[in-house]
Amino acid sequence: MFDYIIVGSGFAGSVIAERIANQLQKKVLIIEKRKHIAGNAFDSYNEAGILVHNYGPHIFHTKIKEVWDYLSQFTDWNIYHHQVLGVIDGAKVPIPFNINSLYGVFPKSIASKLEEKLIRSFGYNIKIPILKLKESEDEDLKYLADFIYEKVFLNYTLKQWGLQPEDLDASVTGRVPVYISRDNRYFQDRYQGTPKFGYTNLFEKILDNENIKVLTNTDYKEIIDIDTNTSEIRFMNNKFNGKLIYTGPIDYFFDYKYGELPYRSINFKFSDIQQASYQEVGTVNYPNDYDFTRITEFKHLTGQKNDLSSIVKEFSEVYIPGVNVPYYPIKNDANFEILKKYKSLSRQLDNVHFIGRLAEYQYYDMDAVIAKALRVFNEKIIKSGD
């Protein structure tokens, strides 16, 4: 009946489904737990008529031409370069913290001395992770690093992760390095934007193929049994001889055999605004004030014109299976040890591919998930000949 069964209709599941259906002309069933496709990229029009990202703000950005070209087959783009301001001591300054931020928080004479030192020590147009800058031996640069650490990173990270920056893998705060530049954009990738008609529309186009069937509102365990010892897959009580592509949480797949992999969840609080514009840029971060981390105003991201506007505030919380949604894998050594055990089990199942943020427990952006799905298709699925 089906050659492939895919669990999850986010980017990982949908891209690989499209490749199998279009390139191999094979039949695919996608099983999706939620009532809709598109995973965490899902967007929809709210009652005020504003296109909102239901699982938090999503800006597409990539350096990978192949990924941009792939998606561009299914959508046109709003060319959008995301900008973020952070509220520091009452001033709103660019994040990542850059030379303009320096002048926003220090008097000109101090800012220019620090600017000169930064450029002399590291060069111009250079990005330095905060934890690296904190190692500076120069007294002034160390002072600056400690200032940025305290004012931008420490409290935001405590709110977002319940942990200090040092207790996470350095790559987490490294996503938002100090940037010796006057470029106020959040990302410097060559390709940036949001899909012209929204993400959900993009997914509808990706999945528009007679070889693809999507079953929503269904946890795969309701209709699929997998014997992880023998690799046997049963679909609606019949043996399934095809392959499974799994994009849900890896610990759930193995019935939490080695314990739960912790995640952070987010409580998104949406509000409609009775005016055309709420804030200067797409996102404003509040490292040190309030319980939420940031406010995003969607119209900046989507380019929508309307007399009203909508915003979302993000309140981070502990993930509890069955209660809220696992959004962010928590990258640190302890969790990596648990992940290693699950990965070793997953390698024993050669009829199952694990792809995506949840299945690989990786802090992937959308482009990385798409690149991975395309790679698995090219290197494993085509080559295996089945």
- The piece of 61-69, 172-180, 223-231, 244-252 that touches ligand UDP (CB under 6 A) is 172-180
* Among 12, 152, 206, 370, interactor with ligand UDP by CB under 6 A: 152
Could you tell me if 253 and 355 are in contact, meaning their C-beta atoms sit under 8 angstroms apart? no
Residue type, 142: K
Q: What are phi and psi of 179, to 5 degrees?
A: -120, 115
Strand order in the sheet with 243-246: 212-215, 28-31, 4-7, 243-246, 352-354
Please count the CA atoms within 13 angstroms of the CA of 6 that sit on its side-chain side: 31
Site membership for ligand FAD, residue 329 (CB under 6 A):
no
Instruction: Return the axis-axis angle of helices 108-122 and 139-148, rounded to nearest 10°.
Output: 110
Residues of span 273-292 touching ligand UDP by CB under 6 A:
285, 287
Q: In whole angstroms, how close is the CB of 101 to ligand UDP at the nearest point?
A: 11
Q: In whole angstroms, how close is the CB of 148 to ligand FAD at the nearest point?
A: 22
Site membership for ligand FAD, residue 17 (CB under 6 A):
no
* CA-closest candidate to residue 202, choices 385, 39, 4: 39
Cβ-based nearer residue to ligand FAD, 105 or 207: 207
Site membership for ligand UDP, residue 95 (CB under 6 A):
yes
Token look-up 């739960």 returns: 260
- The three-state secondary structure class of 271 is strand
Q: In whole angstroms, how close is the CB of 153 to ligand UDP at the nearest point?
A: 4
Could you tell me if 247 and 356 are in contact, meaning their C-beta atoms sit under 8 angstroms apart? yes
Residues of span 242-271 touching ligand FAD by CB under 6 A:
247-248, 266
Cβ-based nearer residue to ligand UDP, 97 or 220: 97
Displacement of CA 42 from its chain's centroid (Å): 12
Q: In whole angstroms, how close is the CB of 295 to ligand UDP at the nearest point?
A: 12
Site membership for ligand FAD, residue 198 (CB under 6 A):
no
Q: In whole angstroms, how close is the CB of 76 to ligand UDP at the nearest point?
A: 24
For residues 72 and 179, what is the distance between their CA atoms, to the nearest angstrom?
30
Could you tell me if 186 and 96 are in contact, meaning their C-beta atoms sit under 8 angstroms apart? yes
| Positions in the binding site for ligand UDP (CB under 6 A) | 86, 95, 152-153, 156-157, 160, 172-173, 175-176, 285, 287
| Positions in the binding site for ligand FAD (CB under 6 A) | 7-13, 31-34, 39-41, 55-60, 219-220, 247-248, 266, 327, 356-358, 364-367, 369
